[in-house]
C-alpha cells in the first residue's frame, strides 16, 4: 500500500505532516477538531497516530500519553489484551468497516487506570486508488451514560427494598456499596443518622471506612465547624471540603482523617419532607478533589433516597411502637379486668386483700405484702413470695405504725406512693430476701389511708413509671373491692340482726303442739325482707300465731312488720278473737305516718288451744294471703278456703273466720308466696298445685320439721342453685302425734 498526500489539519487537531488523501480527511479534522466525540487518524499496519482531536487526547489520559507518529499500541500498551488492536488489524486488512457499541476499555495502568465505555466506528482510510492506507477511529464515550444506567438500576433496586420494608442497615449499606462500585473514581461512602433531637449523629453505614474511624465519629455533635457532616447537619445544606488537610472544619478530626487516609469529604444533609434532620450522606476521597456537577447531583439523589429509607424506617418503628403500646395497653387492661374480677369474686375483705397480693407477685414484683391499720396497730394481712420460706420471712415482719424510718409508716402518714432503688429503711428481712428496691402504695378509703401495698424487687429488676402506675391502679381497685366487701359483710350482718329481731328468736315449746318455722331471704340477704311469722302466748294454754307478707323490702318493710307484730301482741289479750285482732291491725296500718310506708299486708292470724283428745283447735282468718294447707293422715294435703281482704288498703274489711281441728299427727302449713312463685330456669313457677302434690305424695310426717324439710327440698330441687327472687317463709303447726308404744 502507498500513502497519499494529506492536507494540513485545522487548529486543535494534533497531526504529523500532510498525508495523502485530499479534502475528505481535512473535512473530518475540521468537523471533529473541537467536538466532544473522539477522533483519531491512524496510518499503516502499525496504526501510527497521524492526527487526534482534544477529546481523544483527554479520553486516553492527556497529552503526555500521545505523540504523533508513534504506533497506537506503543502509546497505549494496555489496549493489546483488550481486543482493540485486533479490530484495527482486521479493518486494515479487509477494508471493511467495524462498529462497536458500549465497548468497555480500561485506560491507563496501575492506580491511574480507569474504566470507560465507548461507541466506536473503525473506518478504512483509502487513497485515490482505493487502497487502504490506515484506519479512521470515530467514537463517543458512553461511560457516564452506562454509569447512569447502572446507578438507575441500583437506585430502583434500593427503592424496591425500601418498599418491601427491608431493614434500614441493609438498605443503607447496599446504597453505599452501589455508589462505591459504580462511581468511576474511588469514593468511600458514609451515612450518619441523626438522633431524635437532631443534636448528634450516629453511625448508619460506611462499608469501606475503617472501623476505628466509624467508632470515633459515632455520636458526633451537630454544629458549625464540626467536620463536614456535623456542619452540613447544622446548616441543613451541603458542605464541600476539597482538602481536609487545610480546612478549619477538620481541625479536631484531621489526625483521625490522616490515619484513615482521607483527603476530601463532601457531605449532604438527609432531610425529611418537613425539613427535619434525618442524617448526612458523605462521599470521601483519597486525594483532594473538587466535585463536579454530576457528583453533587449524585449526592442529592442518594441523599433523597436515604431520606426515603430513613423516613420509612422511622414510620415503621413508630407503627411498631404504637402497636407495642397498644398491645401493652390491651394486656394491662386485660390484667386489670381479670384482677377486678378476682378481687370482687369474694365478699370477705381479708380474702380480697390476699388476692391483691397474689395478683401483684410475680406480675409486678417478686415479693409483695399488704398491711392494714387496725386499732392503732399495723397488721400484715397478706404476703406473696416465690417460696414458702421467703413468704414466711415476709409474713413475720410487721412494720411499726409510727416509726419515722419505716416506709409503710411514712406512706400511711402521707397517703403518697414511695419508690426507691434500695432496701427499705428500718428493720426487716431485707438481706435474707435479697431486696434491691421497693414500691409502697397507699390503700385509700375516701382519702383516708387504711393500709399499704408494698412491692419488693430483687436482682436487677427495677420499678419504672409504667409499673408504678399499674400498681397504683391495682391498689385503687383492690382497696375499693376490700371496702365494698367489708361494707357488704357489715350490711349483711346488720340486715340479719334486724331480720332476727322481727322473727322469733327461738321456737317456743307448746304443750301438745309442735311448731316449726323456715325463713330464707331473697338474693344475698342485704335487705330486710317483708315476710314474717310469730307465735306468742295468750291466756291459759291458748297461743296466737301469725304469718304474713309486707309489700316491699328494706327499712319500710321492717317498720310495717314491727307494727303488725307489736299491734297483734298488744291487742290479742284484750280482744275476743282473731277477727277483732286483724281489724285492729288494719286500723294501725291505716293510721301509720306516710314516712313509715303505705304498702299493703297479707296475713294469716289465728289462735290455737290443745284439746283433751290430744288434738288442737284452730281459729284463724286469712287476709289476702295464700291459702293454708291442712295435712291429715289419710287424704294428704288440701287448701283451707276462707275469704279475706288485704290489710292497709281500706276500713271496710271482709274477713271469714275458719275453724279447724287437728287430730294427732295432723298439721297446718302457712307459707308466703315466695315458695309458690319460685321459678325454674325456664321461668315456670313452682305453684300451689305442685306444693299440694308434693305434700300429698310424701310419706306422712311425724314432726313439724319434716313438713318444712319436704317443702324446702322440693322448692330447691325445682328452682336450682340460682338466687331466689323473693323471700320465703313458712310456719307449721302440728298436733303432737301419739307416743309410740
Comparing 306 with 627, the larger pLDDT belongs to 627
According to the model, what pLDDT value does residue 108 have?
73
- Strands 667-671 and 629-631 turn out to be antiparallel
Q: Are 532 and 564 in contact (CB under 8 A)?
A: yes
What is the tens place of the pLDDT at every residue in 473-508?
Answer: 998 998 888 888 777 666 655 555 555 555 566 788
What is the tens place of the pLDDT at every residue in 670-682?
Answer: 999 989 999 888 8
3-state secondary structure of 733: strand
Q: Where in the chain is the domain with CATH 3.60.40.10?
A: 503-735
According to the model, what pLDDT value does residue 723 have?
61
Give 660-675 as a DSSP string.
EEEPTT-EEEEE-HHH
According to the model, what pLDDT value does residue 340 have?
79
Q: How far apart are CA 142 and CA 36, in angstroms?
A: 11
- Strands 5-6 and 188-194 turn out to be unpaired
Q: Of 371, 360, 269, 256, whose CA–CA distance to 310 is shortest?
A: 269
Longest Cα–Cα distance in the chain: 172
Average pLDDT, the chain: 84
Q: How far apart are CA 560 and CA 38, in angstroms?
A: 121
What is the tens place of the pLDDT at every residue in 107-134?
Answer: 776 656 677 788 889 999 998 888 999 9
Q: Where in the chain is the domain with CATH 3.30.450.20?
A: 35-144
pLDDT band for position 331 (cuts 50, 70, 90): confident
The count of other CB atoms within 10 Å of the CB of residue 322 is 10
What is the tens place of the pLDDT at every residue in 517-538?
Answer: 998 877 554 456 678 899 999 9
Q: What percent of the chain has pLDDT over 70?
A: 87
pLDDT band for position 582 (cuts 50, 70, 90): very high
132-146, 381-395, 581-595, 649-663: lowest mean pLDDT where?
Answer: 132-146
Q: How far apart are CA 603 and CA 645, in angstroms?
A: 9
What is the tens place of the pLDDT at every residue in 4-14?
Answer: 333 333 334 55
341-355, 433-447, 706-720: lowest mean pLDDT where?
Answer: 341-355
Looking at CATH, the fold of the domain delimited by 165-316 is given as Beta-Lactamase (3.30.450)
Helix axes 349-360, 465-502, angle to 10 degrees: 160
CB burial of residue 31 (10 Å; 0-12, 13-18, 19+): middle
- Strands 20-22 and 5-6 turn out to be parallel
464-468, 529-533, 535-539, 724-728: lowest mean pLDDT where?
Answer: 724-728
What is the tens place of the pLDDT at every residue in 617-626?
Answer: 999 999 999 9
Grid cell for residue 635 = 287424704
Comparing 61 with 697, the larger pLDDT belongs to 697
According to the model, what pLDDT value does residue 501 have?
53
Is 345-495 a domain of CATH 3.30.450.40?
Answer: yes
CATH number of 503-735: 3.60.40.10
Q: Of 58, 45, 53, whose CA–CA distance to 13 is shortest?
A: 53
Judged against a pLDDT cut of 70, whether residue 1 lies above it is answered with: no
According to the model, what pLDDT value does residue 233 have?
94
3-state secondary structure of 301: helix
According to the model, what pLDDT value does residue 417 have?
92
Q: Are 337 and 345 in contact (CB under 8 A)?
A: no
CA distances from 281 to 66, 172, 206, 307 (A): 39, 10, 10, 10
DSSP state of 455: E
Grid cell for residue 513 = 303442739
What is the tens place of the pLDDT at every residue in 693-708?
Answer: 999 888 888 899 999 9
Q: How far apart are CA 26 and CA 18, in angstroms?
A: 10
3-state secondary structure of 361: coil
CA–centroid distance for 540 within its chain: 78
- Whether omega before 479 lies within 30 degrees of 0, making that bond cis, reads no
Q: Where in the chain is the domain with CATH 3.30.450.40?
A: 165-316, 345-495
- Radius of gyration in angstroms for the set of CA atoms belonging to the chain, rounded to a whole number: 54
| pLDDT (average), residues 259-282 | 93
Q: Are 335 and 360 in contact (CB under 8 A)?
A: no
Handedness of CA 439, 444, 448, 453 (dihedral sign): negative
Per CATH, the homologous superfamily of domain 35-144 is PAS domain (3.30.450.20)
Q: What angle do CA 464, 468, 469 make, to 5 degrees?
A: 115
According to the model, what pLDDT value does residue 107 have?
79
Judged against a pLDDT cut of 80, whether residue 594 lies above it is answered with: no
What are the φ and ψ backbone dihedral angles of 47, each rounded to 5 degrees?
60, 55
**How many Cα atoms sit within 13 Å of 454 on the Cβ side?**
31
Q: What percent of the chain has pLDDT over 90?
A: 41
| pLDDT (average), residues 533-559 | 87
What is the tens place of the pLDDT at every residue in 376-421?
Answer: 888 899 999 999 999 999 988 888 766 677 888 889 889 999 999 8
Q: How far apart are CA 644 and CA 602, in angstroms?
A: 9
Judged against a pLDDT cut of 50, whether residue 276 lies above it is answered with: yes
According to the model, what pLDDT value does residue 266 have?
94
Beta strands in 539-587 (DSSP E): 543-550
| pLDDT (average), residues 647-653 | 89
Amino acid at each position: 500500500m502507498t500513502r497519499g498526500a494529506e492536507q494540513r489539519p485545522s487548529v486543535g487537531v494534533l497531526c504529523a505532516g500532510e498525508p495523502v488523501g485530499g479534502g475528505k480527511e481535512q473535512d473530518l479534522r475540521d468537523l471533529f477538531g473541537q467536538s466532544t466525540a473522539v477522533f483519531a487518524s491512524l496510518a499503516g499496519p502499525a496504526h501510527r497516530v497521524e492526527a487526534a482531536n482534544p477529546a481523544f487526547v483527554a479520553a486516553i489520559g492527556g497529552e503526555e500519553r500521545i505523540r504523533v507518529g508513534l504506533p497506537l499500541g506503543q502509546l497505549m500498551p494496555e489496549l493489546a489484551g483488550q481486543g482493540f488492536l485486533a479490530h484495527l488489524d482486521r479493518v486494515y486488512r479487509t477494508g471493511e468497516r467495524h462498529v462497536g457499541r458500549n465497548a468497555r476499555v480500561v485506560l491507563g495502568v496501575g492506580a491511574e487506570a480507569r474504566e470507560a465505555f465507548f461507541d466506536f466506528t473503525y473506518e478504512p482510510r483509502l487513497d485515490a486508488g482505493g487502497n487502504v492506507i490506515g484506519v479512521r477511529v470515530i467514537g463517543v464515550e458512553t461511560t457516564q451514560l452506562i454509569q447512569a444506567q447502572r446507578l438507575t438500576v441500583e437506585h430502583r433496586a434500593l427503592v424496591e427494598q425500601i418498599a418491601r420494608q427491608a431493614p434500614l442497615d441493609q438498605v443503607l449499606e447496599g446504597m453505599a456499596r452501589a455508589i462505591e462500585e459504580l462511581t468511576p473514581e474511588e469514593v468511600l461512602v458514609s451515612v450518619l443518622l441523626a438522633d431524635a433531637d437532631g443534636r448528634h449523629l450516629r453511625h448508619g453505614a460506611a462499608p469501606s471506612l475503617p472501623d476505628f474511624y466509624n467508632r470515633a465519629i459515632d455520636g458526633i455533635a451537630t454544629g458549625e465547624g464540626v467536620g463536614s457532616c456535623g456542619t452540613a447537619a447544622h446548616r441543613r445544606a451541603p458542605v464541600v471540603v476539597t482538602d481536609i488537610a487545610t480546612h478549619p472544619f477538620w481541625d479536631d478530626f484531621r489526625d483521625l482523617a490522616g490515619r484513615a487516609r482521607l483527603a476530601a469529604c463532601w457531605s449532604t444533609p438527609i432531610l425529611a419532607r418537613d425539613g427535619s434532620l434525618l442524617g448526612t450522606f458523605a462521599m470521601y476521597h483519597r486525594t483532594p478533589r473538587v466535585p463536579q456537577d454530576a457528583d453533587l447531583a449524585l449526592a442529592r439523589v442518594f441523599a433523597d433516597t436515604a431520606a426515603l429509607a430513613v423516613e420509612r424506617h422511622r414510620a415503621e418503628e413508630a407503627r411498631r411502637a404504637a402497636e407495642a403500646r397498644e398491645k401493652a395497653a390491651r394486656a394491662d387492661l386485660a390484667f386489670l379486668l381479670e384482677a377486678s374480677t378476682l378481687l370482687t369474686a369474694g365478699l370477705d375483705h381479708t380474702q380480697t386483700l390476699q388476692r391483691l397480693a397474689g395478683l401483684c407477685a410475680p406480675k409486678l414484683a417478686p415479693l409483695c405484702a399488704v398491711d392494714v391499720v387496725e386499732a392503732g396497730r399495723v397488721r400484715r394481712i397478706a404476703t406473696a413470695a416465690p417460696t414458702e420460706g421467703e413468704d414466711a420471712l415476709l409474713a413475720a415482719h410487721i412494720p411499726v405504725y409510727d416509726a419515722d424510718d419505716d416506709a409503710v409508716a411514712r406512706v400511711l402518714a402521707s397517703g403518697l406512693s414511695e419508690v426507691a432503688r434500695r432496701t427499705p429503711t428500718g428493720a426487716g428481712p431485707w438481706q435474707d430476701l435479697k431486696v434491691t428496691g421497693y414500691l409502697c402504695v397507699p390503700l385509700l378509703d375516701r382519702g383516708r389511708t387504711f393500709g399499704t401495698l408494698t412491692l419488693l424487687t430483687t436482682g436487677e429488676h427495677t420499678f419504672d413509671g409504667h409499673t408504678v402506675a399499674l400498681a397504683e391502679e391495682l391498689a385503687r381497685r383492690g382497696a375499693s373491692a376490700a371496702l365494698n366487701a367489708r361494707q357488704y359483710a357489715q350490711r349483711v350482718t346488720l340486715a340479719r340482726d334486724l331480720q332476727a329481731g322481727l322473727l322469733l328468736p327461738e321456737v317456743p315449746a307448746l304443750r301438745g303442739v309442735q311448731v316449726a318455722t323456715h325463713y330464707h331471704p331473697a338474693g344475698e340477704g342485704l335487705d330486710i325482707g317483708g315476710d314474717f311469722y310469730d307465735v306468742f302466748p295468750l291466756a291459759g294454754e291458748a297461743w296466737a300465731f301469725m304469718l304474713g307478707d309486707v309489700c316491699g323490702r328494706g327499712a319500710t318493710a321492717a317498720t310495717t312488720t314491727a307494727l303488725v307484730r307489736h299491734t297483734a301482741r298488744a291487742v290479742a289479750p284484750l280482744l275476743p278473737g282473731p277477727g277483732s285482732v286483724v281489724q285492729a291491725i288494719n286500723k294501725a296500718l291505716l293510721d301509720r305516718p306516710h314516712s313509715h310506708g303505705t304498702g299493703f299486708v297479707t296475713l294469716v292470724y289465728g289462735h290455737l288451744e290443745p284439746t283433751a283428745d290430744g288434738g288442737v283447735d284452730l281459729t284463724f282468718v286469712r287476709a289476702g294471703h295464700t291459702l293454708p294447707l291442712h295435712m291429715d293422715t289419710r287424704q294428704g294435703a288440701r287448701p283451707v278456703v276462707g275469704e279475706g281482704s288485704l290489710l292497709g288498703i281500706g276500713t271496710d274489711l271482709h274477713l271469714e273466720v275458719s275453724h279447724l281441728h287437728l287430730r294427732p299427727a295432723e298439721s297446718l302449713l302457712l307459707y308466703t308466696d315466695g315458695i309458690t312463685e319460685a321459678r325454674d330456669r325456664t321461668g315456670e313457677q313452682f305453684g300451689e298445685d305442685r306444693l299440694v302434690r308434693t305434700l300429698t305424695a310424701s310419706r306422712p310426717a311425724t314432726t313439724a320439721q319434716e313438713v318444712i324439710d319436704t317443702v324446702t327440698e322440693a322448692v330447691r330441687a325445682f328452682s336450682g342453685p340460682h338466687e331466689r327472687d323473693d323471700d320465703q317463709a313458712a310456719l307449721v303447726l302440728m298436733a303432737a302425734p301419739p307416743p309410740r308404744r
